[in-house]
Amino acid sequence: MTQTWIDLRSDTVTQPTEAMRQAMLLAPTGDDVYDEDPTVNRLQAELAAMFGMEAGLFCPSGTMTNQIAIKLHTQPQDEVICHWEAHIHKYEAGGIAFNSQVSVKLLPGEFGKITAQQVAEHINPDNIHYPATTLVGVENTANRGGGSCYSLAEIEAIAAVCREKNLKYHLDGARIFNALIANHEQARNYGQVFDTISVCLSKGLGCPIGSVLLGNAADIHKAKRIRKVLGGAMRQAGMLAAAGLFALENHIDRLAEDHRRAQALAQALQTLPWVKTVFPCPTNIVIFHLHDAEQTQALLAYLKQQGILASAIDKAAVRLVTHLDFDDAQLQTTLYTLQQFSHQPVSIG
């Protein structure tokens, strides 16, 4: 018998539900390299319409949609402004340099967020010594910020700077629906603000594979050639896109449940003596720090022994992510298990 883990390492670990599998099985398909997959075309059009954008491009991963956007908006030798812990910089294997030959201006900022003022202050002057600043990237929600959200007002303030200074503006919206649900905001408002938006289907939405890049028709046309050179043009991808369409129908509103369970974990952690701090938890990512970095691995090993998987994201920081396959019974087990972990002081002498 295989063990069923309570897997809180990421929201990417979900299994497609029976109903999602049925939708995938029955999807009409065609060769998407010829633009002939009706299901892919429908997914791209529906998502673009939701965000008030002209077009979409279905890709295998969020790394690819982000990397395509960066390539689209920059020339070699340019510079991209983003948070120092942004996924596009930290977790995409150096793709900014490898694919686009551009450098980064990394900004600090609480909970993974940057401000319009910071952006304005870090645009390079027109001087031959400096790379040309051409793109700003923000992440909503911000993974390393504990699933923190920008408000639409904060997003728009940065957009105003970008417009004034003629910079492109990309949203890494791997978890954009978590932000929209938490803020009670409409996707439609985002389309007018950004040049491109990357949306992941394989995170909170619970699909097995896929991300969509949204933008205007001309940009998405160019993006298609970049996807091709990266090896991301797929054939009968409708079976995967069908999962995305199913998720747009069925898995958006339920994100509120993931947020409620994450909040319950965050609140319980706050009361435990071995926990030093818990990040504010507006969405589905719980990040907490231990008093004693030495105990981080002990905690992970203890949890694993109890059937719970979590990940360390720093020497003394642990991340728990709630998702479609984490229910209230598992929440109760996790709360109980966390409460039973007793911090063993390191013996001195």
Ligand X SMILES: *Cc1c(COP(=O)(O)O)cnc(C)c1O
Binding range to ligand X, per CB under 6 A, among 57-65, 293-301, 309-317, 333-341: 57-65
* 283 scored as a contact of ligand X (CB under 6 A): no
**Per-residue mark of binding to ligand X, 85-104 (x: CB under 6 A):** --x-----------------
* 211 scored as a contact of ligand X (CB under 6 A): yes
Spell out a b/e string for 25-36, using b for 16 or more CB atoms within 10 Å of the CB, else e.
eebebbebeeee
How far is Cα 242 from Cα 58, in angstroms, rounded to an integer?
A: 11
Q: Which is nearer to ligand X, 298 or 313 (CB)?
A: 313
How far is Cα 90 from Cα 261, in angstroms, rounded to an integer?
A: 28
* 196 scored as a contact of ligand X (CB under 6 A): no
Question: Minimum distance from CB of 12 to ligand X (Å)?
Answer: 6
Question: Minimum distance from CB of 165 to ligand X (Å)?
Answer: 25
Residue 332: how many CB atoms within 10 A of its CB? 11
Q: How far separated are the first and last CA of the chain, in Å rounded?
A: 46
Binding range to ligand X, per CB under 6 A, among 76-84, 199-207, 293-301, 313-321: 199-207
With a CB cutoff of 8 Å and minimum separation 6, the contacts of 205 are 177, 244, 247, 248, 251, 252
Contact (Cβ atoms closer than 8 angstroms) between residue 199 and residue 214: yes
**Per-residue mark of binding to ligand X, 108-147 (x: CB under 6 A):** -------------------------------x---x----
Q: Are strands 196-200 and 168-173 parallel, antiparallel or unpaired?
A: parallel
Q: Which is nearer to ligand X, 196 or 202 (CB)?
A: 202
Contact (Cβ atoms closer than 8 angstroms) between residue 24 and residue 37: no
With CA atoms as reference, report the closest residue to 199 among 153, 245, 160. 245
* 8 scored as a contact of ligand X (CB under 6 A): no
Dihedral (Cα; 98, 104, 109, 112), 10-degree rounding: -20
Of the candidates 78, 79, 172, 258, which one interacts with ligand X according to CB under 6 A? Answer: 172
* 174 scored as a contact of ligand X (CB under 6 A): yes
Q: Which is nearer to ligand X, 29 or 202 (CB)?
A: 202
Q: Which is nearer to ligand X, 63 or 330 (CB)?
A: 63
Q: Are strands 275-278 and 211-215 parallel, antiparallel or unpaired?
A: unpaired
Question: Minimum distance from CB of 306 to ligand X (Å)?
Answer: 26
Q: Which is nearer to ligand X, 27 or 205 (CB)?
A: 205
Question: Minimum distance from CB of 156 to ligand X (Å)?
Answer: 20
With CA atoms as reference, report the closest residue to 322 among 285, 273, 267, 291. 285
Residues in the site for ligand X, rule: CB under 6 A? 61-63, 66, 87, 139, 143, 172, 174, 200, 202-203, 211
